[in-house]
Amino acid sequence: MASLENRTGNYNVVFRFGGKKYTRSLHTGDDAQADRLLANLEQTIRDVKTGRITLPDGADIPTFLLSDGRLSNPHIVEDDTERPQPLELRELFDAFFESLIEDALEETTISLMQTHRKNLLRVLGEDILTDDIDLDALDTFARDRRKEKGKRGGNIEAVTIKKELSTLRRVWRWGRKRGKVTKDLPDLRDIQLPKSSESPPFQTYDEIMLQISQGGLNEDEASKLWECLYLRRKEIDELLQHVRKNSQQAFLYPMVVAAAHTGARRSELMRSQLTDIREETLIIREKKRRRGQESTRRVPMSNLLKETLEKWRDIHPGGSHTFGIIEPSNKRQIVPIRALTRHEAQDNLRAVLVDSKWDVVKGWHTLRHSFISNLASRSIDQRLIDEFVGHTTEDMRRRYRHLFPDVKQAAISSVFD
Contact indicator for 360, 226 with CB cutoff of 8 Å? yes
Amino acid identity at 1: M
Provide the pLDDT for residue 81. Answer: 46
Amino acid identity at 362: K
Provide the pLDDT for residue 376. Answer: 83
Give the domain ranges of the chain.
2-76, 89-190, 218-412
Which of 32, 53, 41, 54 has the alpha carbon at shortest distance from 14? 41
Provide the pLDDT for residue 294. Answer: 72
Provide the pLDDT for residue 92. Answer: 94
> In which element (H, E) is residue 4 found?
strand 2-6
Q: Is 34 exposed, middle or buried (0-12, 13-18, 19+ CB in 10 A)?
A: buried
Residues near 239 by beta carbon (within 8 Å), at least 6 away in sequence: 231, 256, 260, 358, 361
Contact indicator for 119, 146 with CB cutoff of 8 Å? no
Provide the pLDDT for residue 76. Answer: 44
Backbone angles phi, psi at 328, to 5 degrees: -65, 145
DSSP code of residue 283:
E
Torsion of CA 63, 69, 72, 76, to 10 degrees: -80
Provide the pLDDT for residue 80. Answer: 46
CATH architecture of the region 218-412: Orthogonal Bundle (1.10)
Helix axes 364-377, 342-353, angle to 10 degrees: 70
Phi-psi region of 19 (alpha: psi -120 to 50; beta: other; left: phi over 0): left
Provide the pLDDT for residue 1. Answer: 64
Provide the pLDDT for residue 173. Answer: 94
DSSP code of residue 129:
B
> In which element (H, E) is residue 264 found?
none
Helix axes 158-177, 89-99, angle to 10 degrees: 70
Q: Is 210 exposed, middle or buried (0-12, 13-18, 19+ CB in 10 A)?
A: exposed
Phi-psi region of 49 (alpha: psi -120 to 50; beta: other; left: phi over 0): alpha
Strand-by-strand arrangement of the 11-17 sheet = 2-6, 11-17, 20-25
Cα 341 to Cα 402: distance, rounded to the nearest angstrom = 35
Provide the pLDDT for residue 78. Answer: 45
Which of 64, 117, 58 has the alpha carbon at shortest distance from 88? 117
Cα 77 to Cα 99: distance, rounded to the nearest angstrom = 37
| pLDDT (tens place) for every residue of the chain, 417 residues total | 688 877 556 778 888 888 788 888 887 878 888 888 888 888 898 888 888 888 888 888 888 888 888 877 755 444 444 445 788 999 999 999 999 887 778 788 899 999 999 999 999 988 899 989 999 999 999 999 988 887 766 788 888 999 999 999 999 999 999 989 988 999 988 888 877 666 778 888 888 999 988 888 887 788 888 888 889 999 999 999 999 999 989 999 999 999 999 999 999 999 999 999 998 999 999 876 555 567 889 999 999 999 999 999 999 988 999 999 887 655 555 678 888 988 999 999 999 999 999 999 989 999 998 998 888 888 888 889 889 988 767 777 777 766 655 566 777 787 887
pLDDT in tens, 95-118: 999 998 877 787 888 999 999 999
Measuring CA to CA, how many Å separate 361 from each of 1, 358, 402? Answer: 68, 6, 21
Provide the pLDDT for residue 288. Answer: 62
List alpha helices for 67-217, DSSP H: 89-99, 107-124, 135-147, 158-177, 205-213
Report the relative pairing of strands 337-338 and 281-290 from DSSP bridges.
Answer: unpaired
Amino acid identity at 288: K
